[in-house]
Amino acid sequence: MKRLHPSHPPSWMNTSAIVFVAALLVSDGAVLAGTITGYAGASGAGLGVVTFGAVSTPGAGNDDVAGASPNTVVITQKRFDTFNGIWTIFDVASNGLPATEYQVTETVTNNTGGIWIGYQVMLGTGTDSGWVQQALGTGLDFDLPDDNSPRSFSVLPTIVYDEVTIDAVGGTILPGETHVFTYAIDVPDGMTQFTIRTSPRMFVVPVEEKTWGIIKTLFR
């Protein structure tokens, strides 16, 4: 179900769950959870340049967090040179505890030569022709159902999202402009890698073309 960014965060606190996780963390003596261990590269026809800053996980297994998680992923530069997607891949260590929440920040540059009217972020696995969007309900998600952490796309203020897709629209990003976007993700235990797919949206499709496209699809 798609929804608009809420003005009032939902109730999220589950005391028994927090106590349970805290007990696990303390009993082991070590911090264990599904955590991002590193950046495994970028690909896609939109690339450009991707410069990975750092991943930091001081609060492994902390799902859920209200506000910005202390765990961070920073992409210091993501430059789109053509109007296509860029996939960034992350390695994950599984250690038997629930999800770890990260606040992702990416600094995005429009080097495509065209005006953007939107920006899309998706979660999944693989890249390019091997890309598979994450199914709903797996635990890899954009901080849902808790939905209580920052999600901001600068000059694109209208944000429509579900567990695995964010569409930010409502403004324009001109050629040469750079903007900082941020969003929260939950990384569950039980996976070795995942991918963040990002892509600009450029043109509004005219009604006539959309109609023709529908017709072509029907008769193909």
Which residues would be at the binding site for Ca ion (CB under 5 A)?
Answer: 63-65, 101, 143, 146, 148-149, 186
Nearer to Ca ion, 100 or 127 (CB): 100
- Least distance to Ca ion from the beta carbon of 87, Å? 23
Spatial distance between the Cα atoms of 140 and 36, rounded to a whole number of angstroms = 12
User: Which residue lies nearer to Ca ion by CB, 59 or 118?
Assistant: 59
Displacement of CA 93 from its chain's centroid (Å): 18
Nearer to Ca ion, 45 or 68 (CB): 68
> Cβ 29 to Ca ion, closest distance in Å?
25
| Minimum distance of Ca ion from residue 9's CB (angstroms) | 9
The least CB distance from residue 170 to Ca ion, in Å, is 23
The residue sitting closest to Ca ion, measured at its beta carbon, is 149
Instruction: Rank residues 47 and 55 by Cβ distance to Ca ion and give the closer one.
Output: 55
Q: Is the dihedral of CA 96, 163, 57, 12 positive or negative?
A: negative
Q: Encode burial over 187-196: b for 16+ CB neighbours within 10 A, e otherwise.
A: bbbebeebbb
Spell out the alpha helix ranges (H) of the chain: 15-28, 207-219
Q: What is the C-alpha separation between 168 and 154, in angstroms, rounded? A: 9
